[in-house]
Every structure is written in C-alpha cells, then in structure tokens.
Amino acid sequence: MKLLDGRTAIITGAASQRGLGRATAELFAAHGARVAVLDLDLGAAEAAAAALGGGHMGLACDVTDKDQCDAAVARVLDAWGRIDVLVNNAGITQPLRILEIAPENYDAVLDVNLRGTLYMTQACIPAMRDAGSGSVVNMSSVSAQRGGGIFGGPHYSAAKAGILGLTKAMARELAPDGVRVNAICPGFIDTDITAGKLSDDQRAQVLAGIPMGRAGRASDVAGCALFLASDLSAYCTGTEVDVNGGSLI
C-alpha cells in the first residue's frame, strides 16, 4: 500500500547525500508523494530531486530567510496546487561548550533549527488551512530531551527544545483547521552531521548508552516521518516520537 499517493511534500535540508531529509524524500517518493527537495544549494537540491525519479522538484531555500521560504512555497503551490506535508528537517550543529558560544554562534544555530521551522510552517499554513488538512513534521533531537551530547552544543539543545514547544503550540492552534504538527527526536544516527566527529573510543561510549547497541540509520527516522506524514497517524498531533534505540530508557 502506498501511503502518500497523490500527496505533495516539502522537505527542507533534503539534499545531503546520507542525511535524514534525503532518506525521508526517498521513502515519501516510494510511497507515491511528489517531493520538493529544498536546500541551500540549487544544484544539489535539483540533483537530489532528480535522483528520486520524475515529477519531483529541487529548489534553493535558506530557511533562515523568510522571503526565500515564502518564495519556495509559492513555487510549489504554483506547480502542484497543494502542500500536504512539510518536513522541517534543515539543521546545523556546533560542538561548542557553554563559554565558547559567541552571539553569532547562538544566532546561527537558533536561526536554522528554530526560526527556519517557524518561517517554513508559516509559509505553508494558509494552503493547508484552505485544504482543511496537512501534516507538519519537525526534526527535534534527543539533545532537546537530555541536553548536550558531544555534537550539538547547548545552543543546539536549546533550539531543538524550542522546536518541541513550537510543535505543541502550533499543534494546538492548528488542530481545528485539520492540520497536524508533530516532532521526531532522533538519537544517534549515522549521517554527515555525526560522521567522523568521534574517536573510536567516543563512538564505543555512545553506543554503550544505546540499549539496541547500534547507531540509528537515516531510514529509521524516515520510517517515523512517513508514519507522521500519512493517515496512519491521523489522530496524532503535538506528539514527539523518539527514534533512538532506547537511549532514554
């Protein structure tokens, strides 16, 4: 059964070769969705969209820029007339300690992760409201739930925790319009964001804290995104779903 037949989806930060957004785009396309791949670099976004097969589109969009978010959403609406699913996946980390965080570090991390989530959702809400349906999936992190970690930095934890608050507030406000908003909290997933950042000892230490004993795969997160995007989760809104191999048990 194809879960997203006839649906359209926008996924931000979806050009990265091994990334969660890319894996989600691939799974959505396999389930019948037309996918708009948004990312910073137009060529990379177009290549990622082309790799999904025909009928998809790649657009340049820096999610920290409200005008670019509005323009990208307008392009999708012009072409396809509807937006059923938005996945706010674009994110950056900075492995800094508290006293190392300069104002520009704080701005950069909160802008991409948190401000971008707001801007893209604001851009999609009118069309979803008009349609009386829509699913927004926000990429938070286990860093929001237990703080820190080796990769992100405290400002990353703050941004990802902010996403959880924003998710619940938007879910509450948009529920009467038929628009659902949920978050995913991935644990330690093998992607470019985590690759090469740990010594063998550090990696072993991280894995020792995961009851399932392995790092997550991008496809593990994509499967959860598909559930939240599709009607399988029709009565779920304002939730956060952990995809972390049991890291919080």
Tokens representing 122 are 């604001």
Is 119 one of the annotated active-site residues of the chain? no
Give min distance, CB of 87 to ligand NAD, in A.
10
DSSP 94-136: ----GGG--HHHHHHHHIIIIIHHHHHHHHHHHHHHHHT-EEE
Q: Which is nearer to ligand NAD, 29 or 193 (CB)?
A: 193
User: Is residue 187 within 8 Å of residue 138, measured between CB atoms?
Assistant: no
Closest CA to 135 of 58, 236, 219: 236
Q: How far is the CB of 49 from ligand NAD (least distance, A)?
A: 13
Please identify, using beta-carbon distances, which residue of 177 and 240 lies nearer to ligand NAD. Answer: 240
Question: By beta-carbon distance, which residue lies closest to ligand NAD?
Answer: 91
The answer to whether the beta carbons of residues 37 and 85 sit under 8 Å apart is no
User: What is d(CA 75, CA 194) in angstroms, rounded to the nearest whole number?
Assistant: 32
* Active-site residue, from 106, 119, 156, 235: 156
> Which is closer to ligand NAD, CB of 105 or CB of 129?
105
How far apart are CB 140 and ligand NAD at their closest, in Å? 7
What is the token pair recorded at 152? 């992100």
Whole-number minimum distance, CB 33 to ligand NAD, in Å?
19
Binding site for ligand NAD (CB under 6 A): 12-13, 15-16, 19-21, 39-40, 61-64, 89-92, 112, 116, 139, 141, 186, 188-189, 191-194
Determine the longest span between alpha carbons in the chain, in angstroms. 53
* 112 or 127: CB nearest ligand NAD: 112
Where in the sequence numbering do the catalytic residues fall? 156
